[in-house]
Amino acid sequence: MQATERSRARRSTSVVIRAIIPVILALVTAAFILLALGKDPLAFYGDVVQNGVLDGNWQHSLVMMTPLLIIAVALIVVFRGQLWNLGYDGQYLLAAVFVAGLGPTMMKQIGPGLTYLALTLLAMAIGAVWTLLPAWLKAQFGTNEIITTLVMSSIGVGLTGLLIEYVFQDPNQRTPQTRTLDTGDMLPFIPGTRIHIGFIVALVVAVVFQFILNRTSFGLRLDIFGTSPKAARHVGINSKWMTIVLFLISGALIGLAASMDILGQWGYVRNNWNPGYGATIMPFVFLARLSPVGSIPFIAFYSIFATGGTVASIDAGLSTDFLMVIVALILVFMTITEYVGTKLDLGQSYLPDELKEAFRRPALVLTRRKVHA
């Protein structure tokens, strides 16, 4: 029993270390890049903390965390089934434009409560429907879902622009954008804060899906399906339906994220606007080992870094794209750490054979010299 507990403790420690090391290495590497650019890394990171956490700025970070966490769960669902839903931009923007475009009129006609519910359900339905074609093609013909979801995303982004200009355009604005929700019609705040209740929805979604994926028969079937679709068929799991269901759930959650984001933070959608949430959080989803609850601290870290880092980049005279450099570095170091960790777990050296041989030769020469001496 003690051996089992020690083994679990070692595995848990290994998971934590392998999750944290890429972030630390990325931050250290980014510090050297800042030095090379003539910037002060300590001042930069200090500004990140100041503008992302201190003086009440943590509330802005948690507001930003809301759609990111929901989208993280949406990606985890399909990734657990070894499927790829990379159409998050199109699904998000299409859901968002309908929420923003219909919101002002519905608020006046049926009031905030029913409008929140109706728009959220509509957004979830739009996000889900936009995954249906890639899901069906994957289930029926085995078509590569990476390509089909990216194509559908491009179509969705373009269609969003057309809807803004020709259907939901605010007649009082020259810039193509939807009408803006009144401040009083936005999602209510958590008492005593400036954080809207969408943040609570995001936490509930993470906890609920943590339970579903790890404690229910559906989660077990999903893991079997993700491990081997052939094995899933042998135990009576319908792989085609599982593929479609996973995509629908993922798309619906992305639609939910769009609804919470528009109703709680933005209030409108402007043409050519795309927050690109999915691509930015993908490394953190894998660092969390595809765990909805496990992703919470990583998404919180990124939210703080993005909120404070935007201001810090401007203050340092850098492009805000520097944040994407750090995200890319995390992805690179995550790949390296996983490679090294997997080799060590299998009892293998992480050094390539050629490099091991290069190290071995001087050692052999030294040994021979000692023998002759």
Query: What pLDDT digit, counting tens, does each position of 308-355 carry?
Result: 988 898 888 888 888 888 888 988 888 888 777 766 665 554 445 554
Q: Which amino acid is at 100?
A: A
The pLDDT score that the predictor gives to residue 349 is 47
* Statement: residue 298 has pLDDT above 60: yes
Angle 339-27-332 from CA coordinates, rounded to 5°: 30
Torsion of the alpha carbons at 343, 344, 349 and 351, rounded to the nearest 10: 60
Under the banding of pLDDT at 50, 70 and 90, the label for residue 194 is very high
Rounded CA gap, 32 and 15, in Å? Answer: 27
- Sequence-distant (6+) residues with CB within 8 A of 206 are 69, 72, 73, 292, 293, 295, 296
Torsion of the alpha carbons at 35, 38, 41 and 44, rounded to the nearest 10: -150
Based on the number of CB atoms within 10 Å of its own CB, is 280 exposed (0-12), middle (13-18) or buried (19 or more)?
middle
The pLDDT score that the predictor gives to residue 4 is 59
Highest mean pLDDT among 221-230, 243-252, 332-341: 243-252
Give the pLDDT mean for 101-130.
96
Give the pLDDT mean for 20-33.
92
Q: Do 268 and 178 touch, CB atoms closer than 8 A?
A: yes
Q: Do 285 and 295 touch, CB atoms closer than 8 A?
A: yes
Give the pLDDT mean for 60-73.
96
List own/partner pairs for 113-119 with CB under 8 A and 24 or more apart: 115/185, 116/187, 116/263, 119/259, 119/263
| Model pTM above 0.85 | yes
Give the pLDDT mean for 175-181.
93
The pLDDT score that the predictor gives to residue 359 is 45
The pLDDT score that the predictor gives to residue 347 is 54
List own/partner pairs for 112-117 with CB under 8 A and 24 or more apart: 112/185, 115/185, 116/187, 116/263
Q: Which amino acid is at 228?
A: S
The pLDDT score that the predictor gives to residue 350 is 42
* Statement: residue 67 has pLDDT above 50: yes
The pLDDT score that the predictor gives to residue 7 is 57
The pLDDT score that the predictor gives to residue 363 is 46
The pLDDT score that the predictor gives to residue 366 is 47
